[in-house]
């Protein structure tokens, strides 16, 4: 005997279709917002992230084959959105700590501060996409000013490999500057 359907939910959603996305939103948005609220402990942030999830579905349509499949996909998306949210909060906190050390007369405008935070978030996303050794080499070179030879010794690779790592990281920086994101 076949399992009874949960309710009158459609069997599949193709988020490229306005009607299907509307159905997906109608059937899953309250559940997704509640899930996010439990994870974040904040209803307002949960509402924002739930909206972000559906905006992403508008931007990158998906075929979700069932009610349970849609929930599973939205649940995975929610996890990623929460991680991004927490990382952004960490970046904002670090930026605020750095600003607290400055004299008030030398603080950038609020608009400039938001631009810096967005840029730092983009760099964080870029570093997260890079292989660990590439990101480590890039940070050691750019933030700590270490020479390639020293980085190579610390990572147990050749200096030539460090040059390749840096080229890979710099390519990602160039793509960010150009407004593109490349998948590694």
Cα(135)–Cα(126) distance, integer angstroms: 9
Q: Is 156 left (phi over 0), alpha (psi -120 to 50) or beta?
A: left
- Mean predicted lDDT score pLDDT of the chain: 84
Cα(182)–Cα(115) distance, integer angstroms: 21
Averaging pLDDT over each range in 9-13, 118-122, 148-152, which range is the top one?
148-152
Q: What is the pLDDT of residue 13?
A: 62
Confidence of residue 103 (pLDDT cuts 50, 70, 90): confident
Return all residues near 63 (Cβ < 8 A) that are at least 6 apart: 12, 13, 14, 15
Confidence of residue 7 (pLDDT cuts 50, 70, 90): very low
More confident residue, 39 or 119: 39
pLDDT at 102 over 90: no
pTM: predicted TM-score of the whole model, two decimal places: 0.66
| Tens of pLDDT, residues 142-174 | 999 999 999 999 999 999 999 999 999 999 888
Q: What is the pLDDT of residue 1?
A: 42
More confident residue, 114 or 1: 114
| Tens of pLDDT, residues 51-74 | 999 888 888 877 878 888 889 999
What 3-state class would DSSP assign to 135? helix
pLDDT at 118 over 50: yes
């Amino acid at each position: 005997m076949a399992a009874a359907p949960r309710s009158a939910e459609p069997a599949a959603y193709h988020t490229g279709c306005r009607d299907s996305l509307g159905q997906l939103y109608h059937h899953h948005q309250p559940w997704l917002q509640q899930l996010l609220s439990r994870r974040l402990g904040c209803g307002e942030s949960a509402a924002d992230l739930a909206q972000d999830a559906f905006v992403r579905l508008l931007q990158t349509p998906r075929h979700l084959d069932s009610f349970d499949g849609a929930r599973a996909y939205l649940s995975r998306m929610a996890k990623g959105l929460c991680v991004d949210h927490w990382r952004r909060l960490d970046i904002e906190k670090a930026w605020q700590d750095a600003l607290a050390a400055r004299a008030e007369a030398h603080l950038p405008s609020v608009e400039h501060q938001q631009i810096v935070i967005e840029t730092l978030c983009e760099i964080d996303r870029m570093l997260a996409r890079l292989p660990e050794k590439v990101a480590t080499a890039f940070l050691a070179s750019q933030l700590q000013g270490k020479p390639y030879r020293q980085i190579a010794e610390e990572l147990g690779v050749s200096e030539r490999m460090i040059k390749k790592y840096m080229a890979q990281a710099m390519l990602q920086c160039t793509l960010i500057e150009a407004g593109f994101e490349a998948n590694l």
